[in-house]
């Protein structure tokens, strides 16, 4: 009977394994630095959608290939202090004519229905924009700019104060709440434009 021959697989080189670990670490660094970020929400300007001390997952990479859509929750630099971040919702898009009257938003003459606004705190503060009444039909958002607001309209510093923001001021787009655990899940409620025939009379500025 012939003796059995046993073939031994060559032991993987320590340096090969080390290189794989380093490549994995570099890949994770690139993803964390350039693709996603975890955002700590500070303040109440996005209540009831997001609350103080919530944590959300936001993506950066997709903004290299797509532009923000209406209803997106975006993270941007505070126009008054670049060391701080703001979390706001995109309301108006480039080239659109936007008007706010008596707490109602109109885009190109059509009323925007916003299901995410708080129901127990009616919008009364800064409920009209533009405030100079230069054009009763509103103001046109410049090319490459976006009009953003917090969902908690009575307690938000946003485009009603600092104007529309440029695309390059937007850092990332929030998709998913991580904490608290009892509210974990997507954060992508969307507004809708009512048909022209269903749009209520805008009334007079307050």
Q: Active site includes 77?
A: no
Residue whose token pair is 């073939």: 7
| Catalytic, out of 60, 88, 156, 172 | 88
| Catalytic, out of 45, 156, 164, 172 | 45
Residue whose token pair is 């993987």: 12
For CA atoms 72, 143, 77, 91, give the dihedral sign. Answer: negative
Give the bridge partners for 99, in sequence order.
Answer: 106
Distance set, CA 182 to CA 111, 124, 177, 178, 185 (Å)? 34, 31, 10, 9, 9
CA gap 195, 171 in Å, rounded: 33
Residue whose token pair is 């001021």: 169
In this structure, the dihedral spanned by the alpha carbons of residues 149, 77, 96 and 56, taken in order and rounded to 10 degrees, is -60
Q: Active site includes 156?
A: no
Catalytic residues: 45, 88
């Amino acid at each position: 009977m012939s003796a059995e021959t046993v073939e031994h697989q060559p032991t993987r080189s320590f340096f090969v394994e080390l290189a794989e670990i380093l490549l994995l670490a570099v890949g994770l660094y690139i993803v964390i630095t350039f693709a996603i970020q975890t955002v700590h929400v500070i303040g109440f300007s996005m209540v009831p959608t997001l609350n103080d001390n919530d944590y959300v997952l936001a993506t950066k990479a997709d903004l290299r290939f797509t532009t923000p859509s209406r209803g997106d929750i975006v993270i941007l630099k505070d126009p008054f202090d670049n060391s701080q971040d703001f979390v706001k919702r995109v309301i108006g898009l480039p080239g659109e004519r936007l008007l706010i009257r008596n707490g109602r938003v109109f885009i190109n003459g059509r009323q925007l229905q916003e299901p995410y606004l708080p129901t127990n705190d009616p919008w009364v503060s800064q409920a009209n924009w533009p405030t100079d009444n230069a054009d009763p039909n509103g103001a046109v958002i410049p090319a490459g700019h976006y009009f953003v607001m917090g969902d908690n309209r009575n307690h938000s510093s946003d485009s009603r104060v600092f104007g529309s923001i440029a695309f390059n001021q937007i850092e990332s787009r929030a998709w998913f709440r991580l904490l608290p655990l009892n509210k974990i899940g997507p954060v992508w409620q969307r507004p809708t434009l009512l048909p022209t025939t269903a749009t209520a009379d805008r009334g007079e500025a307050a």
